[in-house]
Amino acid sequence: MRVACTVMDMNEMRGLLQRAKTFVANVWTTQCTWFYRNKSRDYFDKISWEHGGVMKAYLKDATGDVRAPINGEIKGLFFMTAVDENSQPREMSPFGDTRILIRAEVILSIASNVYFADFYGMYRYMLYSN
């Protein structure tokens, strides 16, 4: 059995939780309308040719934030929801040159197991902001 490693102690996690609540309640002014995923064109071509257009769940790797507690722990498909000040998906992505966009209400209406796991990736922002 693999044990997840964390870089924050419990007090830091509690502080982060409180800052996340404050951020969502007072700072967050945009609305999430899209889930999106960036991969290479080859990735999406392979999905089309070899899997009939169906993306298969895989074990979360360490792309993104290498400290993410879900790395190596859960299988799934991993999407972003980060938006700009106009509630639109961010234009640039280090994960690939091709993007699939899915409306949030579509995923949330058919998926019973959606997890929002990387909010802590904003840790540095929340740690040093008011």
- For residue 65, CA distances in Å to 7, 60, 110, 123 come to 12, 11, 27, 11
In sequence order, what are the beta bridge partners of 83? 89
pLDDT averaged over the chain?
77
Does residue 80 sit within a domain?
A: yes
Residue 96 maps to a domain: yes
**Nearest CA among 117, 22, 107 for reference residue 71:** 117
Largest CA distance in the chain: 49
What's the predicted TM-score (pTM) here?
0.65
Count of domains forming the chain: 1
Q: Which residue has the higher pLDDT, 77 or 122?
A: 77
Structural domain includes residue 82:
yes
The winner for highest mean pLDDT among 3-17, 37-51, 58-72, 100-114 is 37-51
More confident residue, 56 or 86: 56
Q: Give 7 or 35, the one with higher predicted confidence.
A: 35
Percent of the chain with pLDDT over 90: 18
- The residue segments making up the domain with residue 89 are 10-128
User: Would residue 4 count as lying in a domain?
Assistant: no
Q: Which residue has the higher pLDDT, 6 or 72?
A: 72
Of residues 8 and 50, more confidently modeled: 50
Q: Exposed, middle or buried: residue 44 (CB in 10 Å: 0-12, 13-18, 19+)? A: middle
Q: Would you say residue 35 lies in a domain?
A: yes
Winning range, highest mean pLDDT, from 72-81, 86-95, 108-117: 72-81
pLDDT tier, 101 (very low <50, low <70, confident <90, very high otherwise):
very high
DSSP letter at 122 equals G
